[in-house]
């Protein structure tokens, strides 16, 4: 599929090839030069660990701090961890004697701002250059990656979301944020992604082509019986939301088609909310032409009532018969399209997980399938017998000629592991 979009392949590797004169086998891999911008939020303390992890991954790191960031972490901390002098002043007479900010802008292979506060995102979106960090972002041709961190209300504010749309439109890659409890006591989206997740998202093993378009389906569907009742299932949407967020963090343009869920939706390019299987089918097919990868995590109802009642069904007889009709098989239909997207399915099974999953992989012509055991008690850690409506899960991921087990873990982490594997397999298939 990448052959149709030759200009899309744009990795942000921790290692980069040295193509200069005199390159040898010993010098064929040189460290990526990462310019880390640290802005003023409590998450600045995580940036210290991020420097360490970037260096462990082989990157050369230089740190630029805003004035506000220095109120949270001392520059000496980053100097000790990076082995390089920390810069913070745009008009530093010593550095600017040699046009230091331009030198830094040219030095960087990648500019990573973590944490990226609402203020920094706003200034980047509107092209301001009123401190060293924002000036470097304007003066450098290096790819820009931001890891937002802020209060949940600030994250949800329309101004912040508008700024993010502007930045994404310019090709800026947005990693996160995560959800959870915050320093102010609020709970919701806005936590900076963990350092290990940021470093993993920059790895060439799991980085998608810039602009690669992914559609993820998530959650249950509800098939109405009457105005107050429906046929549904126990899916919470948690697994699909985790996969969508992780793929967005890895450089994809994500469209999330979600059935009813009580969860806060992840930050993706497009969110389409539906109720029934027919609505999900219509939403998927209407957008499929713009899709490189399709990940079907949703627990779509196999059947729907033939004739939903227009009024509430009254309790009368001791027994009642419902006539059901098959819903469209969205996954099979997508996989059968000539020249269609790289297609990943899910299989929730109560027994013989691998047998049924391999059968589904072959019968529907999928590129990958992720299967898990559901319907029993939680059991001991590692057994993974929960699946639906739980915070933890385990997956058996299969493809033709191979497979991998992802152990029992929180779905947020499992989504990231699965996203890495999807990226790996997709890029391998694209390379032939």
Q: How far is CA 133 from the centre of its chain?
A: 26
Cβ proximity of 258 and 272 under 8 Å = yes
Residue 272: phi, psi to the nearest 5?
-120, 120
Token output for 69: 């960031």
Measured distance CA(77)–CA(69) in Å, rounded: 12
**Tokens linked to 163:** 């700024």
* Cα–Cα distance measured from residue 261 to residue 212, given in angstroms and rounded to the nearest whole number: 26
Q: Which helix (H) or strand (E) holds 218?
A: strand 213-218
Closest to 342 measured CA to CA, from 431, 256, 241, 214:
214
CB 111 within 8 A of CB 173: no
Contact criterion met (CB below 8 Å) for 260 and 275: yes
Q: How far apart are CA 308 and CA 273, in angstroms?
A: 21
374 contacts 388 by C-beta, under 8 angstroms? yes
**Which residues contact residue 259 at a Cβ distance below 8 angstroms, ignoring those fewer than 6 apart?**
217, 218, 219, 220, 221, 222, 235, 237, 273, 274, 275, 280, 298, 299, 300
Angstrom distances, CA of residue 83 to CA of 77, 233, 313: 10, 54, 72
Instruction: Confirm whether 184 is a catalytic residue.
Output: yes
Query: What distance in Å separates the CA atoms of residue 409 and residue 414, rounded to the nearest whole number?
Result: 6
| In the block, residue with structure tokens 């009024």 | 311
Helix, strand, or coil (residue 365): coil
Neighbours of 375 (CB within 10 A): 13
Could you say which of 184, 212, 291, 423 is catalytic?
184
d(CA 195, CA 43): 11
Whole-number Å distance between alpha carbons of 177 and 165? 15
Token pair 């309790």 in the structure block, residue: 315
Largest CA distance in the chain: 90
Where in the sequence numbering do the catalytic residues fall? 184
């Amino acid at each position: 599929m990448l052959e149709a979009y030759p200009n899309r392949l744009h990795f942000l590797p921790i290692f980069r090839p040295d193509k200069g004169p005199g390159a040898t086998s010993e010098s064929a891999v040189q460290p990526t030069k990462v310019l880390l911008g640290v802005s003023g939020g409590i998450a600045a303390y995580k940036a210290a660990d991020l420097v360490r992890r970037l260096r462990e991954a082989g990157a050369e790191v230089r740190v630029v701090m805003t004035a506000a960031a220095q109120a949270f972490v001392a520059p000496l901390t980053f100097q000790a961890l990076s082995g390089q002098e920390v810069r913070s002043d745009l008009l530093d007479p010593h550095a600017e004697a040699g046009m230091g900010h331009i030198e830094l802008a040219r030095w960087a292979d990648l500019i990573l701002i973590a944490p990226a506060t609402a203020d920094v995102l706003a200034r980047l979106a509107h092209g301001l250059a009123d401190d060293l960090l924002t000036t470097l972002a304007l003066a450098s041709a290096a790819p820009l990656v931001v890891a937002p961190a802020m209060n949940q209300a600030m994250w949800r504010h329309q101004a912040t979301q508008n700024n993010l749309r502007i930045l994404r439109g310019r090709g800026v890659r947005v990693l996160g944020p995560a959800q959870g409890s915050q320093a102010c006591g609020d709970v919701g989206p806005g936590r900076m992604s963990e350092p290990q997740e940021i470093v993993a998202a920059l790895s060439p093993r799991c980085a998608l082509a810039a602009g690669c378009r992914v559609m993820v389906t998530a959650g249950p569907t509800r098939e109405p019986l009457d105005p107050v009742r429906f046929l549904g299932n126990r899916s919470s949407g948690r697994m699909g939301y985790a996969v969508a967020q992780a793929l967005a963090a890895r450089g994809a343009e994500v469209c999330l088609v979600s059935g009813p869920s009580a969860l806060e939706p992840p930050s993706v390019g497009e969110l389409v909310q539906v109720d029934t299987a027919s609505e999900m089918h219509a939403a998927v097919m209407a957008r499929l032409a713009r899709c490189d990868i399709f990940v079907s995590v949703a627990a779509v109802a196999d059947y729907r009532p033939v004739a939903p009642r227009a009024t509430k069904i009254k309790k009368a007889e001791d027994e009642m018969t419902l006539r059901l009709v098959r819903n469209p098989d969205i996954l099979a239909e997508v996989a059968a399209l000539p020249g269609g997207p790289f297609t990943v399915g899910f299989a929730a099974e109560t027994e013989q997980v691998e047998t049924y999953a391999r059968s589904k992989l072959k019968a529907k012509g999928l590129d990958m399938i992720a299967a898990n055991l559901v319907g029993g008690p939680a059991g001991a850690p590692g057994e993974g017998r929960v699946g639906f409506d739980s915070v933890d899960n385990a997956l058996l991921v299969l493809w033709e000629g191979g497979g991998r087990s992802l152990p029992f873990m929180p779905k947020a982490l499992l989504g990231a592991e699965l996203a890495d594997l999807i990226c790996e397999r997709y890029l391998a298939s694209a390379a032939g």
